[in-house]
Structure 1
Protein backbone atom coordinates (compact mmCIF):
# COMPACT_ATOMS: atom_id res chain seq x y z
CA UNK A 1 0.00 0.00 0.00
CA UNK A 2 2.55 2.57 1.08
CA UNK A 3 6.14 3.12 2.13
CA UNK A 4 5.07 5.44 4.94
CA UNK A 5 6.83 5.30 8.29
CA UNK A 6 3.64 6.40 10.04
CA UNK A 7 1.95 3.56 11.88
CA UNK A 8 -1.51 4.97 11.18
CA UNK A 9 -0.84 4.95 7.42
CA UNK A 10 0.18 1.29 7.31
CA UNK A 11 -2.10 -1.69 6.89
CA UNK A 12 -1.91 -4.24 9.65
CA UNK A 13 0.06 -6.74 7.50
CA UNK A 14 2.57 -4.01 6.59
CA UNK A 15 2.88 -3.06 10.24
CA UNK A 16 3.28 -6.68 11.27
CA UNK A 17 6.04 -7.15 8.71
CA UNK A 18 7.98 -4.14 9.95
CA UNK A 19 7.64 -5.15 13.59
CA UNK A 20 8.92 -8.62 12.71
CA UNK A 21 12.10 -6.88 11.53
CA UNK A 22 12.51 -5.45 15.04
CA UNK A 23 12.43 -1.83 13.92
CA UNK A 24 12.17 0.80 16.66
CA UNK A 25 8.80 2.46 17.24
CA UNK A 26 8.63 6.15 18.18
CA UNK A 27 5.79 7.49 20.31
CA UNK A 28 5.51 11.22 20.97
CA UNK A 29 3.53 12.43 23.98
CA UNK A 30 2.45 16.05 23.83
CA UNK A 31 -0.21 18.40 25.13
CA UNK A 32 -2.94 20.74 23.95
CA UNK A 33 -1.88 23.95 25.64
CA UNK A 34 -1.75 27.69 25.09
CA UNK A 35 1.44 29.00 23.53
CA UNK A 36 0.77 32.70 23.40
CA UNK A 37 -1.09 34.64 20.71
CA UNK A 38 1.46 33.86 17.99
CA UNK A 39 1.55 30.05 18.19
CA UNK A 40 -1.12 27.33 17.99
CA UNK A 41 -2.39 25.16 20.83
CA UNK A 42 -0.69 22.14 19.28
CA UNK A 43 2.96 23.18 19.63
CA UNK A 44 3.67 20.39 22.13
CA UNK A 45 2.28 17.87 19.64
CA UNK A 46 3.91 19.25 16.49
CA UNK A 47 7.46 19.57 17.83
CA UNK A 48 8.00 16.10 19.38
CA UNK A 49 6.20 14.46 16.47
CA UNK A 50 8.42 16.27 13.98
CA UNK A 51 11.59 15.34 15.83
CA UNK A 52 10.48 11.73 16.35
CA UNK A 53 9.73 11.47 12.63
CA UNK A 54 13.15 12.74 11.62
CA UNK A 55 14.93 10.36 14.00
CA UNK A 56 12.77 7.47 12.76
CA UNK A 57 13.82 8.31 9.21
CA UNK A 58 17.46 8.11 10.28
CA UNK A 59 17.15 4.68 11.91
CA UNK A 60 14.42 3.04 9.85
CA UNK A 61 11.74 3.27 12.52
CA UNK A 62 7.96 3.64 12.71
CA UNK A 63 6.14 6.64 14.17
CA UNK A 64 3.06 5.79 16.22
CA UNK A 65 0.18 8.29 16.56
CA UNK A 66 1.02 11.01 19.05
CA UNK A 67 -0.83 11.25 22.36
CA UNK A 68 -2.17 14.84 22.12
CA UNK A 69 -3.22 15.49 25.73
CA UNK A 70 -0.79 15.99 28.58
CA UNK A 71 -0.65 16.62 32.30
CA UNK A 72 -2.00 19.91 33.64
CA UNK A 73 -0.24 23.09 32.56
CA UNK A 74 1.61 24.74 35.44
CA UNK A 75 2.06 28.52 35.78
CA UNK A 76 5.86 28.40 36.08
CA UNK A 77 6.35 26.24 32.99
CA UNK A 78 3.28 26.56 30.78
CA UNK A 79 1.21 29.50 31.95
CA UNK A 80 -1.41 27.39 33.70
CA UNK A 81 -4.86 25.99 33.14
CA UNK A 82 -6.70 29.34 33.03
CA UNK A 83 -5.92 29.96 29.34
CA UNK A 84 -8.77 28.93 27.00
CA UNK A 85 -7.92 25.91 24.90
CA UNK A 86 -5.52 24.39 27.40
CA UNK A 87 -7.09 20.94 27.67
CA UNK A 88 -5.30 18.58 30.03
CA UNK A 89 -5.66 15.26 31.83
CA UNK A 90 -4.87 14.17 35.37
CA UNK A 91 -1.47 12.63 36.05
CA UNK A 92 -3.05 9.24 36.76
CA UNK A 93 -5.02 9.37 33.51
CA UNK A 94 -1.93 10.11 31.43
CA UNK A 95 0.00 7.35 33.17
CA UNK A 96 -2.74 4.82 32.43
CA UNK A 97 -3.13 5.87 28.79
CA UNK A 98 0.61 5.50 28.25
CA UNK A 99 0.59 2.18 30.12
CA UNK A 100 -2.14 0.83 27.86
CA UNK A 101 -0.46 1.97 24.63
CA UNK A 102 2.88 0.46 25.66
CA UNK A 103 1.24 -2.84 26.61
CA UNK A 104 -0.56 -3.10 23.28
CA UNK A 105 2.58 -2.29 21.32
CA UNK A 106 4.48 -4.97 23.22
CA UNK A 107 1.72 -7.57 22.86
CA UNK A 108 1.98 -7.15 19.08
CA UNK A 109 5.72 -7.67 19.07
CA UNK A 110 7.37 -4.25 19.54
CA UNK A 111 10.71 -4.73 21.30
CA UNK A 112 12.27 -1.28 20.83
CA UNK A 113 10.26 1.75 21.86
CA UNK A 114 11.33 5.41 22.04
CA UNK A 115 8.94 7.74 23.87
CA UNK A 116 9.56 11.41 23.04
CA UNK A 117 8.11 13.92 25.50
CA UNK A 118 6.97 17.29 24.17
CA UNK A 119 5.45 18.84 27.30
CA UNK A 120 7.46 19.79 30.38
CA UNK A 121 4.77 18.73 32.87
CA UNK A 122 4.44 15.21 31.41
CA UNK A 123 7.76 13.92 32.72
CA UNK A 124 6.79 12.12 35.92
CA UNK A 125 3.33 10.87 34.85
CA UNK A 126 5.03 9.40 31.78
CA UNK A 127 7.69 7.76 33.94
CA UNK A 128 4.93 6.18 36.02
CA UNK A 129 3.15 4.97 32.88
CA UNK A 130 6.29 3.26 31.62
CA UNK A 131 6.87 1.66 35.00
CA UNK A 132 3.30 0.36 35.19
CA UNK A 133 3.52 -1.09 31.68
CA UNK A 134 6.84 -2.81 32.33
CA UNK A 135 5.52 -4.38 35.54
CA UNK A 136 2.41 -5.72 33.82
CA UNK A 137 4.37 -7.02 30.85
CA UNK A 138 6.75 -8.82 33.22
CA UNK A 139 3.72 -10.32 34.96
CA UNK A 140 2.54 -11.59 31.56
CA UNK A 141 5.94 -13.07 30.72
CA UNK A 142 7.02 -10.36 28.26
CA UNK A 143 10.51 -9.20 29.20
CA UNK A 144 12.05 -8.31 25.85
CA UNK A 145 10.76 -4.73 25.49
CA UNK A 146 13.31 -1.94 25.90
CA UNK A 147 11.93 1.58 26.35
CA UNK A 148 13.84 4.84 25.98
CA UNK A 149 11.88 7.73 27.51
CA UNK A 150 13.30 11.18 26.83
CA UNK A 151 12.69 14.91 26.67
CA UNK A 152 13.81 16.13 23.26
CA UNK A 153 15.01 19.48 24.63
CA UNK A 154 17.75 17.75 26.65
CA UNK A 155 19.49 16.80 23.41
CA UNK A 156 21.22 20.02 22.45
CA UNK A 157 24.84 21.10 22.33
CA UNK A 158 26.03 23.69 24.83
CA UNK A 159 27.57 25.61 21.94
CA UNK A 160 24.15 25.89 20.29
CA UNK A 161 22.58 27.33 23.43
CA UNK A 162 25.47 29.78 23.71
CA UNK A 163 24.79 30.94 20.14
CA UNK A 164 21.11 31.38 20.89
CA UNK A 165 21.52 32.98 24.31
CA UNK A 166 24.83 34.87 24.49
CA UNK A 167 23.67 36.48 27.74
CA UNK A 168 22.78 33.13 29.31
CA UNK A 169 20.12 30.45 28.79
CA UNK A 170 17.04 31.22 30.95
CA UNK A 171 16.16 27.54 31.31
CA UNK A 172 13.77 25.15 29.59
CA UNK A 173 10.76 25.91 31.81
CA UNK A 174 10.79 29.64 31.04
CA UNK A 175 11.26 28.99 27.33
CA UNK A 176 7.56 28.22 26.97
CA UNK A 177 6.28 29.73 23.69
CA UNK A 178 9.49 31.71 23.48
CA UNK A 179 12.60 31.70 21.28
CA UNK A 180 13.19 27.94 21.13
CA UNK A 181 9.65 26.74 20.43
CA UNK A 182 8.84 29.64 18.10
CA UNK A 183 12.00 29.08 16.05
CA UNK A 184 11.33 25.35 15.68
CA UNK A 185 7.71 25.99 14.73
CA UNK A 186 9.01 28.28 11.97
CA UNK A 187 10.67 25.14 10.57
CA UNK A 188 7.96 22.51 11.11
CA UNK A 189 4.79 24.61 10.66
CA UNK A 190 5.55 28.21 9.63
CA UNK A 191 1.97 28.51 8.40
CA UNK A 192 0.82 28.37 12.04
CA UNK A 193 3.16 31.09 13.33
CA UNK A 194 2.28 34.79 13.29
CA UNK A 195 5.39 36.78 14.20
CA UNK A 196 3.35 40.00 14.09
CA UNK A 197 1.57 38.81 17.24
CA UNK A 198 4.68 38.05 19.30
CA UNK A 199 4.03 39.73 22.69
CA UNK A 200 6.43 41.83 24.72
CA UNK A 201 4.98 41.43 28.23
CA UNK A 202 7.61 38.93 29.45
CA UNK A 203 9.85 37.62 30.68
CA UNK A 204 8.00 36.19 33.66
CA UNK A 205 9.45 36.49 37.15
CA UNK A 206 8.33 33.63 39.39
CA UNK A 207 8.99 32.77 43.02
CA UNK A 208 10.79 29.50 43.73
CA UNK A 209 7.59 27.87 44.98
CA UNK A 210 4.05 27.09 43.86
CA UNK A 211 1.02 28.81 45.36
CA UNK A 212 -2.48 27.33 45.52
CA UNK A 213 -4.88 28.70 44.48
CA UNK A 214 -2.86 30.14 41.64
CA UNK A 215 -2.51 33.90 41.49
CA UNK A 216 -3.38 34.71 37.84
CA UNK A 217 -1.34 37.92 37.98
CA UNK A 218 1.92 35.98 38.34
CA UNK A 219 1.77 34.88 34.69
CA UNK A 220 2.24 37.31 31.78
CA UNK A 221 -1.15 38.03 30.21
CA UNK A 222 0.00 36.62 26.87
CA UNK A 223 1.05 33.26 28.36
CA UNK A 224 4.56 33.66 26.91
CA UNK A 225 7.07 33.20 29.72
CA UNK A 226 10.25 34.55 28.09
CA UNK A 227 11.07 36.43 24.90
CA UNK A 228 10.12 35.18 21.45
CA UNK A 229 11.52 38.18 19.59
CA UNK A 230 14.33 37.21 17.27
CA UNK A 231 12.95 33.76 16.52
CA UNK A 232 13.91 32.50 13.06
CA UNK A 233 13.76 29.28 11.09
CA UNK A 234 17.56 29.33 10.94
CA UNK A 235 17.73 29.19 14.73
CA UNK A 236 15.07 26.50 14.70
CA UNK A 237 17.22 24.40 12.41
CA UNK A 238 20.20 24.77 14.75
CA UNK A 239 18.09 23.23 17.50
CA UNK A 240 16.41 20.56 15.39
CA UNK A 241 19.74 19.43 13.91
CA UNK A 242 21.08 18.93 17.44
CA UNK A 243 17.96 17.18 18.70
CA UNK A 244 17.84 14.77 15.77
CA UNK A 245 21.57 14.01 15.71
CA UNK A 246 21.91 13.45 19.45
CA UNK A 247 18.71 11.43 19.86
CA UNK A 248 19.68 9.33 16.84
CA UNK A 249 23.05 8.67 18.45
CA UNK A 250 21.39 7.57 21.67
CA UNK A 251 18.91 5.30 19.87
CA UNK A 252 21.66 3.66 17.81
CA UNK A 253 23.71 3.11 20.96
CA UNK A 254 20.95 1.60 23.08
CA UNK A 255 19.48 -0.55 20.30
CA UNK A 256 22.81 -1.44 18.64
CA UNK A 257 21.62 -0.11 15.27
Structure 2
Protein backbone atom coordinates (compact mmCIF):
# COMPACT_ATOMS: atom_id res chain seq x y z
CA UNK A 1 0.00 0.00 0.00
CA UNK A 2 1.50 3.32 -1.06
CA UNK A 3 2.27 6.03 1.45
CA UNK A 4 -0.31 8.81 1.32
CA UNK A 5 0.09 10.56 4.69
CA UNK A 6 2.37 13.52 4.10
CA UNK A 7 3.35 13.68 7.78
CA UNK A 8 5.05 10.29 7.35
CA UNK A 9 7.21 11.51 4.47
CA UNK A 10 10.64 13.14 4.65
CA UNK A 11 10.70 16.74 3.51
CA UNK A 12 12.67 16.08 0.32
CA UNK A 13 10.20 13.45 -0.91
CA UNK A 14 7.30 15.70 0.03
CA UNK A 15 8.83 18.64 -1.83
CA UNK A 16 9.33 16.54 -4.95
CA UNK A 17 5.65 15.57 -4.91
CA UNK A 18 4.19 19.04 -4.41
CA UNK A 19 6.61 21.59 -5.87
CA UNK A 20 4.95 21.75 -9.31
CA UNK A 21 1.46 22.30 -7.88
CA UNK A 22 -0.06 19.16 -9.37
CA UNK A 23 -0.53 17.30 -6.08
CA UNK A 24 -3.84 17.71 -4.27
CA UNK A 25 -3.75 18.03 -0.50
CA UNK A 26 -6.60 16.25 1.26
CA UNK A 27 -7.44 17.77 4.66
CA UNK A 28 -9.67 15.82 7.08
CA UNK A 29 -11.38 18.09 9.61
CA UNK A 30 -13.36 16.74 12.56
CA UNK A 31 -14.01 17.28 16.25
CA UNK A 32 -13.42 15.76 19.65
CA UNK A 33 -16.98 15.13 20.81
CA UNK A 34 -18.86 12.58 22.88
CA UNK A 35 -20.61 9.90 20.84
CA UNK A 36 -22.37 8.03 23.62
CA UNK A 37 -21.00 5.67 26.29
CA UNK A 38 -20.34 2.97 23.68
CA UNK A 39 -17.84 4.80 21.51
CA UNK A 40 -14.67 6.90 21.65
CA UNK A 41 -14.56 10.69 21.42
CA UNK A 42 -12.94 10.83 17.98
CA UNK A 43 -15.20 9.33 15.25
CA UNK A 44 -15.49 12.78 13.65
CA UNK A 45 -11.71 12.71 13.18
CA UNK A 46 -11.08 9.05 12.36
CA UNK A 47 -13.86 8.67 9.79
CA UNK A 48 -12.87 11.53 7.45
CA UNK A 49 -9.20 10.59 7.83
CA UNK A 50 -9.95 7.00 6.83
CA UNK A 51 -11.96 8.14 3.82
CA UNK A 52 -9.24 10.62 2.85
CA UNK A 53 -6.57 7.92 2.90
CA UNK A 54 -8.61 5.44 0.88
CA UNK A 55 -9.42 8.11 -1.70
CA UNK A 56 -5.76 9.18 -1.92
CA UNK A 57 -4.66 5.57 -2.41
CA UNK A 58 -6.76 5.47 -5.57
CA UNK A 59 -5.17 8.62 -6.93
CA UNK A 60 -1.76 9.34 -8.41
CA UNK A 61 -1.65 12.92 -7.16
CA UNK A 62 -3.07 13.17 -3.63
CA UNK A 63 -1.48 13.44 -0.20
CA UNK A 64 -3.39 13.44 3.08
CA UNK A 65 -2.61 16.14 5.63
CA UNK A 66 -2.78 15.42 9.37
CA UNK A 67 -6.41 15.79 10.48
CA UNK A 68 -7.58 18.90 12.27
CA UNK A 69 -9.11 17.38 15.38
CA UNK A 70 -10.74 20.30 17.18
CA UNK A 71 -13.97 21.50 15.60
CA UNK A 72 -16.65 24.09 16.19
CA UNK A 73 -18.87 23.92 19.27
CA UNK A 74 -21.14 20.90 19.51
CA UNK A 75 -24.76 21.98 19.09
CA UNK A 76 -27.65 20.46 21.03
CA UNK A 77 -29.71 19.49 17.97
CA UNK A 78 -26.84 17.97 16.00
CA UNK A 79 -24.17 16.81 18.45
CA UNK A 80 -25.71 16.85 21.89
CA UNK A 81 -24.11 20.13 22.95
CA UNK A 82 -21.14 20.98 25.13
CA UNK A 83 -22.53 19.55 28.36
CA UNK A 84 -20.65 16.27 28.22
CA UNK A 85 -17.14 15.74 29.59
CA UNK A 86 -14.75 15.04 26.74
CA UNK A 87 -16.45 17.23 24.15
CA UNK A 88 -13.63 19.70 23.46
CA UNK A 89 -14.50 22.37 20.92
CA UNK A 90 -13.24 25.74 19.70
CA UNK A 91 -14.95 28.91 18.54
CA UNK A 92 -15.89 29.39 14.91
CA UNK A 93 -13.30 32.16 14.64
CA UNK A 94 -10.54 29.86 15.92
CA UNK A 95 -11.45 27.07 13.51
CA UNK A 96 -11.69 29.45 10.57
CA UNK A 97 -8.33 31.07 11.30
CA UNK A 98 -6.62 27.72 11.89
CA UNK A 99 -7.80 26.17 8.62
CA UNK A 100 -7.03 29.39 6.75
CA UNK A 101 -3.48 29.46 8.12
CA UNK A 102 -2.91 25.78 7.28
CA UNK A 103 -4.06 26.29 3.69
CA UNK A 104 -1.74 29.28 3.29
CA UNK A 105 1.17 27.30 4.74
CA UNK A 106 0.62 24.57 2.17
CA UNK A 107 0.24 27.23 -0.52
CA UNK A 108 3.80 28.35 0.20
CA UNK A 109 5.02 24.80 -0.52
CA UNK A 110 3.61 25.00 -4.04
CA UNK A 111 0.27 23.31 -3.44
CA UNK A 112 -2.58 24.78 -5.46
CA UNK A 113 -5.49 22.39 -4.95
CA UNK A 114 -7.15 21.18 -1.75
CA UNK A 115 -9.90 18.74 -0.85
CA UNK A 116 -11.34 19.29 2.63
CA UNK A 117 -13.29 16.30 3.99
CA UNK A 118 -15.47 17.36 6.90
CA UNK A 119 -16.57 14.91 9.57
CA UNK A 120 -18.39 17.26 11.97
CA UNK A 121 -21.60 18.96 10.85
CA UNK A 122 -21.06 22.10 12.91
CA UNK A 123 -17.79 22.90 11.11
CA UNK A 124 -19.36 23.51 7.72
CA UNK A 125 -19.79 27.28 7.39
CA UNK A 126 -16.52 28.11 9.13
CA UNK A 127 -14.70 25.89 6.62
CA UNK A 128 -16.53 27.75 3.85
CA UNK A 129 -15.24 31.05 5.22
CA UNK A 130 -11.66 29.77 5.55
CA UNK A 131 -11.67 28.41 1.99
CA UNK A 132 -13.21 31.57 0.54
CA UNK A 133 -10.67 33.82 2.28
CA UNK A 134 -7.75 31.64 1.18
CA UNK A 135 -8.86 31.70 -2.46
CA UNK A 136 -9.23 35.49 -2.38
CA UNK A 137 -5.83 35.92 -0.74
CA UNK A 138 -4.19 33.70 -3.35
CA UNK A 139 -5.89 35.54 -6.22
CA UNK A 140 -4.64 38.89 -4.94
CA UNK A 141 -1.16 37.34 -4.93
CA UNK A 142 -1.54 36.19 -8.53
CA UNK A 143 -2.05 32.53 -7.60
CA UNK A 144 -4.95 30.37 -8.75
CA UNK A 145 -6.06 28.29 -5.78
CA UNK A 146 -8.88 25.74 -5.75
CA UNK A 147 -10.49 24.39 -2.57
CA UNK A 148 -13.18 21.70 -2.64
CA UNK A 149 -15.18 21.26 0.56
CA UNK A 150 -17.40 18.26 1.24
CA UNK A 151 -19.04 16.35 4.08
CA UNK A 152 -18.77 12.60 3.54
CA UNK A 153 -22.40 11.82 4.42
CA UNK A 154 -23.61 13.83 1.42
CA UNK A 155 -22.32 11.00 -0.79
CA UNK A 156 -24.59 8.36 0.75
CA UNK A 157 -27.42 7.46 -1.62
CA UNK A 158 -31.04 6.79 -0.79
CA UNK A 159 -30.50 3.16 -1.78
CA UNK A 160 -27.77 2.74 0.81
CA UNK A 161 -29.83 4.56 3.44
CA UNK A 162 -32.63 2.03 2.88
CA UNK A 163 -30.17 -0.87 3.30
CA UNK A 164 -28.71 0.58 6.48
CA UNK A 165 -32.11 1.55 7.93
CA UNK A 166 -34.54 -1.14 6.70
CA UNK A 167 -37.13 -0.17 9.33
CA UNK A 168 -37.09 3.50 8.35
CA UNK A 169 -34.70 6.43 8.58
CA UNK A 170 -35.26 9.12 11.19
CA UNK A 171 -33.06 11.63 9.34
CA UNK A 172 -29.48 12.88 9.43
CA UNK A 173 -30.26 15.42 12.15
CA UNK A 174 -30.52 12.70 14.83
CA UNK A 175 -27.77 10.37 13.61
CA UNK A 176 -25.22 11.65 16.13
CA UNK A 177 -23.73 8.55 17.77
CA UNK A 178 -26.35 6.42 16.05
CA UNK A 179 -26.27 3.63 13.50
CA UNK A 180 -24.30 5.53 10.84
CA UNK A 181 -21.23 6.54 12.85
CA UNK A 182 -21.25 3.42 15.02
CA UNK A 183 -21.36 1.13 11.98
CA UNK A 184 -18.46 2.93 10.32
CA UNK A 185 -16.41 2.77 13.52
CA UNK A 186 -17.19 -0.95 13.88
CA UNK A 187 -15.69 -1.36 10.41
CA UNK A 188 -12.54 0.77 10.79
CA UNK A 189 -11.85 0.85 14.56
CA UNK A 190 -13.83 -1.92 16.30
CA UNK A 191 -11.50 -1.61 19.28
CA UNK A 192 -13.01 1.82 19.98
CA UNK A 193 -16.61 0.57 20.11
CA UNK A 194 -18.24 -1.41 22.93
CA UNK A 195 -21.71 -2.49 21.85
CA UNK A 196 -22.42 -3.81 25.38
CA UNK A 197 -22.61 -0.17 26.50
CA UNK A 198 -25.15 0.89 23.86
CA UNK A 199 -28.13 2.84 25.20
CA UNK A 200 -31.26 2.15 23.15
CA UNK A 201 -33.08 5.47 22.89
CA UNK A 202 -35.81 6.69 20.51
CA UNK A 203 -34.84 9.40 18.00
CA UNK A 204 -34.57 12.74 19.75
CA UNK A 205 -37.26 15.34 19.10
CA UNK A 206 -36.47 19.04 19.22
CA UNK A 207 -38.51 22.24 18.92
CA UNK A 208 -37.98 24.35 15.79
CA UNK A 209 -35.75 26.86 17.58
CA UNK A 210 -32.60 27.11 19.68
CA UNK A 211 -32.18 28.49 23.19
CA UNK A 212 -29.10 30.13 24.71
CA UNK A 213 -27.85 29.12 27.15
CA UNK A 214 -28.65 25.64 25.80
CA UNK A 215 -30.97 23.42 27.81
CA UNK A 216 -29.38 20.04 28.71
CA UNK A 217 -32.79 18.45 29.22
CA UNK A 218 -33.31 18.50 25.46
CA UNK A 219 -30.60 15.85 25.02
CA UNK A 220 -30.87 12.16 25.99
CA UNK A 221 -28.60 11.43 28.94
CA UNK A 222 -26.62 8.98 26.79
CA UNK A 223 -25.53 11.80 24.48
CA UNK A 224 -26.69 9.93 21.39
CA UNK A 225 -29.59 11.41 19.42
CA UNK A 226 -30.82 8.03 18.22
CA UNK A 227 -30.19 4.39 18.99
CA UNK A 228 -26.99 2.72 17.71
CA UNK A 229 -28.28 -0.75 18.62
CA UNK A 230 -28.73 -1.84 14.99
CA UNK A 231 -25.22 -0.85 13.96
CA UNK A 232 -23.01 -3.48 12.31
CA UNK A 233 -19.63 -3.61 10.64
CA UNK A 234 -21.31 -4.73 7.42
CA UNK A 235 -23.41 -1.57 7.34
CA UNK A 236 -20.25 0.43 7.90
CA UNK A 237 -18.68 -1.24 4.89
CA UNK A 238 -21.67 -0.39 2.68
CA UNK A 239 -21.49 3.26 3.70
CA UNK A 240 -17.72 3.57 3.33
CA UNK A 241 -17.57 1.76 0.00
CA UNK A 242 -20.05 4.16 -1.54
CA UNK A 243 -18.52 7.31 -0.07
CA UNK A 244 -14.98 6.37 -1.03
CA UNK A 245 -15.90 5.30 -4.55
CA UNK A 246 -17.95 8.41 -5.30
CA UNK A 247 -15.45 10.85 -3.82
CA UNK A 248 -12.55 9.16 -5.63
CA UNK A 249 -14.41 9.15 -8.95
CA UNK A 250 -15.31 12.81 -8.60
CA UNK A 251 -12.02 14.26 -7.40
CA UNK A 252 -9.11 11.89 -8.18
TM-score normalised per structure 2: 0.96
Kept in 2, the 8 Å contact 1:202–1:220? The answer is no
Q: Partners of 2:17 and 2:169 in 1: how far apart?
A: 41
Deviation for aligned residue 1:174: 0.8
Which residue number corresponds to residue 150 of structure 2?
Answer: 150
Deviation at 1:250, TM superposition (A): 1.4
Q: In the alignment, what sits opposite 1:95?
A: 96
Per the alignment, residue 50 of structure 1 pairs with 50
Q: What are the within-5 Å matches in structure 2 for residues 1-257 of structure 1?
A: 4-20=3-19, 22-60=22-60, 61-143=62-144, 145-252=145-252
* Partners of 1:43 and 1:75 in 2: CA distance: 18
Aligned residues: 250
Task: Supply the RMSD in Å over aligned alpha carbons.
Answer: 1.4
CA distance in 1, matches of 2:34, 2:202: 15
Q: Which segment is superposed worse, 157-166 or 18-27?
A: 18-27
In the TM superposition, what is the alpha-carbon distance from 1:136 to its structure 2 partner?
Answer: 1.4
Contact 1:156 1:243 in 2 (8 A): yes
Q: Is the 8 A contact 2:135 2:146 kept in 1?
A: no
Assess if the C-alpha contact under 8 Å between 1:201 and 1:221 holds in 2.
no
TM-score (norm 1): 0.94
Task: Report the alpha carbon displacement of residue 166 of structure 1 after superposing the two structures with TM.
Answer: 2.8
- Offset, 1:3: 5.2
Residue deviations 1:207-227, cap 9 Å, x none? 111111211111000000011
- Give structure 2 stretches of 5+ with no counterpart: none
**Which blocks of at least 5 consecutive residues in structure 1 are unaligned?**
253-257
Where does structure 1 differ by over 6 angstroms across 4 or more consecutive aligned residues?
none
Q: Give the whole-Å Cα distance in 1 for the aligned partners of 2:72 and 2:228.
A: 24
**Contact between 2:72 and 2:90, CA under 8 Å: does it hold in 1?**
yes
Give the CA deviation at 1:201: 3.0
Distance 1:133 1:111 in 2: 11
Secondary structure of the residue aligned to 2:58 is helix
Contact 2:186 2:193 in 1 (8 A): yes
d(CA) in 2 for partners of 1:93, 1:211: 23
**Distance in 2, Cα, partners of 1:172 & 1:52:** 21
